[in-house]
Amino acid sequence: MYSEDHTRYVLLTNGANRTNWRFDRRTLILLSVIILPIVFFCGTYMTLFGVYEKTVYPITQTLNVPDQLVERSDKYGKFVNVVNTEKIGFLSHIKNISDYRQYKLVCYYNFPQNEIVQLKGENIDPNLCTHLNLAFVSVVNNTLNVENSQLNDIKRILLLKNVNKDLKILLSVGGAGDKNGWPEMVKNHTNRKSFIKSVMTFIKTYKIDGVDLDWEFPNINENSDKKQKQHFTQLLEEMFIAKRRQYLNFLITLAVAAPVNIVDFAYDIPYINEYVDFINLMSYDYHFYTKFTPFTGLNSPLYGSSNEASIFSSLNINYSVNYWNYKGMDKSKIVVGLPTYGHSFKLVNARNNGLYAPARGYGKLGSKGFIDFSQVCTFLALNHITPVFDLETKSPYASKYTEWISFDDAQSLSYKAEFIRDNHFGGAMVYSLNTDRTIKDFAYLQGKPIKNSL
């Protein structure tokens, strides 16, 4: 049997064949130099973005993100930049606290915006929360404006009290998308009186338990009336006095900002403390991709990181709640906000995937940078990802190639529940109940019922 080398020698016995072989070899080397980098680049690209497309970006139910959520996140981010010259799956974790019923569990429910399948108001578990905030109605012409579809939802949801008579149902007014009604309404006593009258009429007519005021935010726009902060406090005082005069026993609560720079501009905290039953602290959206903050960050960290400086060291729950308390709000009136969603980022460099890594936009997962827990669970499960749990901030995050997400899990929520209990705050607020697919998905991945978790 001839060897391969011998066969090659026999085939190249004449000079012409040897010359042709040398020429072909040079050609082959030249082609390899040209083609191999192209093949390598294409292969790498397909590996990162093509072959794994369905794994990295699984087809899940699209999160219908209200514009108001993006607007609030943008306000948080922009205000940090301007001022810086310095599902329900987890509800079971608060109920693990001993004597948890002394704490409030405030749940926001957004009125349906369309006919897409989602959690219907009448299907909410009436024993899940202590307080249910129906969001959002608007301020129009200095009065409460409730649309017919919203009123129908309210009537159905009020029937939940037949099952749980202790459930408190409140009407949430405003939200991040309600920009125009508040400034005009609070401007003078006459306008405020009209609004208060409309609120009290609605409460008496439909027998709801109170009103939750969510103005985002007084006094922070450059062209705003600088007395908005004072006028908003006057609104609360006048509403408080009016309900006492009429011997009405309804709740007055506020949804308030967490970043300290907004807090200083927007609220007279000692006076607010006198007139409200409690506040719902929006302690989420601390980090969200904007052109002012083009880097990754945690949506709702419990504590700050040692790597943070200046204003960024204050963007965490611990700092926010203690700042509100330091400024004059009773601890028992501070209800700590917990989001049922996370944020996604698109990394500049897949290898640089830690906290504060450069980002160049929203992630592909979710919508407009928002991801619900259903999408988080699918993303982690299909990609076999073990999240990174940051011990300093007590928060998880995860990444795959250029996709980076921040979210909460059972461990982070347990830390937050213990924090609320150990520091004697008023309870937890959940925003929001609407992503009902979260319940099944999160329960499946945790391997245990989730309804008894918070």
Closest CA to 237 of 205, 260, 270: 270
**13 has a pLDDT exceeding 80:** no
Q: What is the DSSP code string of 119-160?
A: --GGGS-TTS-SEEEEEEEEEETTEEE--HHHHHHHHHHHGG
Choose, from 53, 216, 392, 418, the residue flagged as catalytic.
216
Q: Which two tokens stand for residue 186?
A: 């609070």
- The pLDDT-based confidence of 440 (bands split at 50, 70, 90) is very low
The pLDDT of residue 114 = 76
Check residue 203 and give its pLDDT: 98
- Which helix (H) or strand (E) segment holds residue 108: the answer is strand 104-110
> What pairing do the DSSP bridges indicate for beta strands 168-174 and 104-110?
unpaired
Q: Where would I find the H helices in 177-227?
A: 181-186, 189-206
pLDDT band at 189 (very low <50, low <70, confident <90, very high): very high
Per-residue model confidence as pLDDT tens digits over 346-393: 999 999 999 999 999 999 999 999 998 888 999 999 999 999 999 999
Cβ within 8 Å of residue 240, ≥6 positions away: 252, 274, 275
**Residue 453, pLDDT score:** 47
pLDDT number for residue 345: 98
238 belongs to the catalytic site: no
Q: Tell me the pLDDT tens digit for each residue of 240-264.
A: 999 999 999 999 999 999 999 999 9
Decide: pTM greater than 0.85: no
Average pLDDT over residues 440-450: 38
Alpha-carbon distance 259 to 77, whole Å? 10
* Token pair recorded at residue 254: 């506020």
In 294-407, beta strands by DSSP E:
334-339, 341-346, 370-372, 388-390, 395-400, 403-406
Q: Which residue has the higher pLDDT, 435 or 319?
A: 319
Please give the backbone phi and psi of residue 448, each rounded to the nearest 5 degrees, phi first.
-155, 160
CA 425-72-374 angle, to 5 degrees, is 80
What is the reported pLDDT for 177?
Answer: 81
What residues contact 219, with CB distance under 8 A and at least 6 apart?
Answer: 225, 226, 228, 229, 265, 266
For 79-97, what is the mean pLDDT? 41
The CA distances from residue 269 to 166, 228, 281, 329, in Å, are 29, 14, 13, 6
Q: Which residues pair with 345 in a beta bridge?
A: 404
> What six digits make up the tokens of 172?
């949430």
Q: What is the pLDDT of residue 86?
A: 28
Which residues, 6+ apart, have CB-to-CB distance to 244 below 8 Å?
A: none
**What's the whole-number mean pLDDT along residues 180-187?**
95
Q: What contacts 336, CB < 8 A, 6 or more positions away?
A: 281, 283, 317, 321, 416, 419, 420, 425, 426, 427, 428, 429
pLDDT tens for 96-150 read: 444 556 899 999 999 998 766 578 899 999 999 999 999 999 999 999 999 999 9
Extract the runs of DSSP E, i.e. beta strands, from 303-356. 334-339, 341-346
Say if CB 254 and CB 277 are below 8 A apart: no
CATH topology classification for 67-340+409-435 = TIM Barrel (3.20.20)
State the CB neighbour count (10 A cutoff) for residue 250.
20
Q: Are 235 and 187 in contact (CB under 8 A)?
A: no
